[in-house]
Each structure stands twice: as C-alpha cells, then as structure tokens.
Amino acid sequence: MKMTYVLPQTGRTENEEQEDWDGRFGDFLIDLQTQEGLTDLTIRQLQLHLRAYDAWLKELGRCWTSARREDIQEYLQQVRDHRSASTLRSKLWSIRRLYAWARENSIVTVPSCWMMVARRTYERKRTVVPSSHQLQQLLELPDTSTDKGLRDRAVLELLYATGMRATEILSIKLHQVVKDRCLRIMGKGQVERLVVYGEDAAYWIAQYKEKRQMMLLKAGHSVVATQQLFVSMGKHAAYQYFELRRMIRAYAQRLNLKLTPHALRHAFATHLYQGGAALRTIQLLLGHAQLTTSTIYISRRIEDSKKMMHIHHPREDGYKPYRRWSSG
C-alpha cells in the first residue's frame, strides 16, 4: 500500500497536484522527515527537485527506477550549465538520497558506486558578508513608525543578534519569548538548543509585540490565527520565508548589497570571530555538530589578516614579544 505525502502548509496531496506523481516519492519524503526531522521547507525543496528530475526522465521515456548512471550525469550537467552551484549541490544531494533510500528498500538494485554519482569538485559560491557598519545601516532602514517597519526591525535585529536560521526564526512561537532574553528552539535535525540575544533585539521585539494583534486584524486574520511570533500582513497569517527573503533583499538593495537571510547568519559568525570569539563558542551559538561546518560561515577579510600579521609577526612594527620570550 502506497502512502500519500501531504505538502506542508497547503494540505494538498501530491496526487491532487499532479496525477502522475510517483507515490514512492511520498514514502521517501515521509521516511526522511520522520527519521531525520527535516523541516517543512527542506521537504518542500526535495519534493520540487524530485518533480523536476522525474519530469526530465519522462521526456526521455524512462522511469527513475530504471535510469542509468549516464542519465543522471547528463541531467546534472544540464543543471550545472543553467543554474547556480548551490542549486547543483542541492539537486545532487536530493538524487543521492533518493537512490540510497530506494536501494535500502529494494526498489532499485544499483551498485553502491552510484551513491557517489557526479561527485566532482566545483567552486563553492562565497557568501558576501557585510561589514558591521553596513549591518548597522541595514538595521536602521525599516520605518519603525509603521507596523510593518516594526516587524521588519525586530526580525532583522533577532537574525543578526542570534545567527538563527530562517526556518528557526519563522518557527518561534509567541509564548517562547520570555524576559530573560533566551529562546529554547528546535534546530536542524530536531536538535534542541538555547539561543540568547541582547537588549537591542529585546527592545524591538517588545515594540513589535504591541502591534502584532493589530497587524493580524488589519490583514483580515483572527488574533489567534497563528501562534508564531512573526506574522504577515498578506493572505497567510504566519510570516513566510519568501516574505522574509524579499524583505531583506529590498532593504539590502538600498545599500547596493545583495543579501539573503542566510547571509545574516554568516555575518553573525564572522563579526563574532572578528571580535575575538573562540571558534568553539561560535560553533555552540550556531548549533553546528562539527567545528569544520562553523568555519565555513566565517569570512576573513584581507584587512583582518594584515592586522593579525601586524600584531603577531616579529618582523612587524606592532609586534610585542611575550615576557617569557624576552631576554633579561
């Protein structure tokens, strides 16, 4: 018996959206979400990738269960030619996970080497990290005399103050905001962690909360339409990811920057590091299981390297030897 996967937020099934959707994709998504605790946003992205891959194969007259390795490589090459490196990585991950799951469940009998299909090296696109001065300018752009501006300022302050992921920010419930400026959130992989934030973020969250109910009413929603902290003034009561991304992009463009919600997470880590925070501390605050993952989020500037050389290299003017190494 095939299971039917229900799309997050829409409540519609795959069969309702597309009659030829393979029910085994639904089984795969349910197993992945249940076993690994992936977010609805990640599951939705997987679903879109599977749909595109399946449609491409059907144009060749093939089913995904009988696809050859060469077919997959040709598909990924097409993605490489027309899409960004991050999209290629995401689609490659989706396909590898699909076939690994299908092999474990005896749906396909492909060699284990297929799990490494098309794992070629390619340049990772570097996230542009704004300076602390640019971030301060960004935070001051929202018009806080309006309800929308208050919400935008609160969101931006909290993103920069905590380095939380976009999905984590959007999943905060109203009752989680307490006076001690500490949030207990469920992060990636259903790993719980504590998040702390400063007085600036607390101030703007408090200002926004006073207008939250009015925002819901103005948008035609009930005041109990959602328990999420951040609400929308559109057709959805809860603030959506596409609205968050659009908001940050619009403010960033006014500063001639190209920023995403994830870029603020990088800025959080980078500015902590520039301020002297230990890598282990940054790892803890970001909620990473591996230290090497945290280092990806830190963008070192050439100015930082020059400053380090000036202070710590014996051939530089700013060098001061430790007492234990000085003579006498």
Catalytic residues: 165, 188, 262, 265, 288, 297
Q: Closest Cα partner for 210 from 247, 165, 177?
A: 177
* Ordered alpha helix ranges (H), 60-141: 69-82, 85-104, 132-139
Q: Is the dihedral of CA 279, 285, 291, 295 positive or negative?
A: negative
Q: What is the three-class DSSP state of 228?
A: strand
Q: Closest Cα partner for 128 from 307, 252, 17?
A: 252
* Ordered alpha helix ranges (H), 140-240: 147-162, 166-170, 199-218
Q: What is the three-class DSSP state of 196?
A: strand
Identity at 15, one-letter amino acid code: N
Q: What is the three-class DSSP state of 315?
A: coil
C-alpha torsion 35→41→44→50, nearest 10:
-70
